[in-house]
């Protein structure tokens, strides 16, 4: 099983090919040995509004990921998140169930043919 740890700016850049976040963000990196195999987190897009993202390899989509998602959400709330949006790829088994379990609800909005979900404090 991979281990999941709080992520740094360097971890973010390593996983996303050099891309860096200029604003506030929180996240977790999923490590397999010395390699980052998955990544998830939240990025502040404007004061109080954040975007959530999660990329986990199929073989690591297990219940323990939920605990780490909750921890990242707690970090974002502590940093002032009042609204969190995310896209849900319903073709991924369990994705919709995870969104509901985290407290998201679907909206009428879509992005790249995926429904935008929202969580509000």
pLDDT at 64: 86
Q: At a CB cut-off of 8 Å and minimum separation 6, what does 33 contact?
A: none
**C-alpha span between 23 and 11 (Å, rounded):** 16
Q: How far is CA 67 from CA 4, 72, 98, in A?
A: 10, 9, 11
Length of the chain equals 121
What is the set of domains in the chain, with CATH numbers?
A: 3-120 (3.40.630.30)
Order across the sheet with 35-46: list the strands: 3-6, 25-32, 35-46, 49-55, 83-88, 114-120, 105-111
Specify the pLDDT at position 51: 96
Q: What is the pLDDT of residue 72?
A: 94
Distance, in Å, from the CA atom of 17 to the CA atom of 115, rounded to the nearest integer, reads 26
pLDDT for 112 equals: 87
Helices (H), the chain: 9-15, 64-78, 95-102
- For residue 4, the model assigns a pLDDT of 96
Per-residue pLDDT of the chain (121 residues; tens, 9 = 90+): 789 999 999 999 999 999 999 999 999 999 999 999 999 999 999 999 999 999 999 998 888 899 999 999 999 999 999 999 999 888 888 889 999 999 999 999 998 888 999 999 8
The C-alpha atoms of residue 72 and residue 43 are separated, in whole angstroms, by: 11
Q: Is the pTM of this model over 0.85?
A: yes
């Amino acid at each position: 099983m991979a281990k999941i740890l709080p992520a740094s700016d360097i971890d973010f850049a390593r996983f996303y090919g050099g891309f860096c976040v200029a604003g506030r963000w929180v996240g977790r990196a999923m490590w397999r040995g010395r390699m980052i195999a998955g990544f998830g987190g939240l990025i502040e897009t404007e004061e109080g509004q954040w975007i959530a993202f999660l990329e986990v390899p199929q073989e690591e989509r297990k219940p323990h990921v939920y605990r780490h998602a909750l921890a990242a959400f707690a970090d974002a709330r502590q940093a002032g998140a009042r609204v969190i949006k995310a896209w849900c790829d319903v073709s991924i088994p369990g994705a919709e169930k995870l969104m509901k379990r985290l407290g998201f609800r679907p909206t009428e909005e879509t992005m790249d043919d995926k429904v935008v979900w929202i969580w509000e404090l």
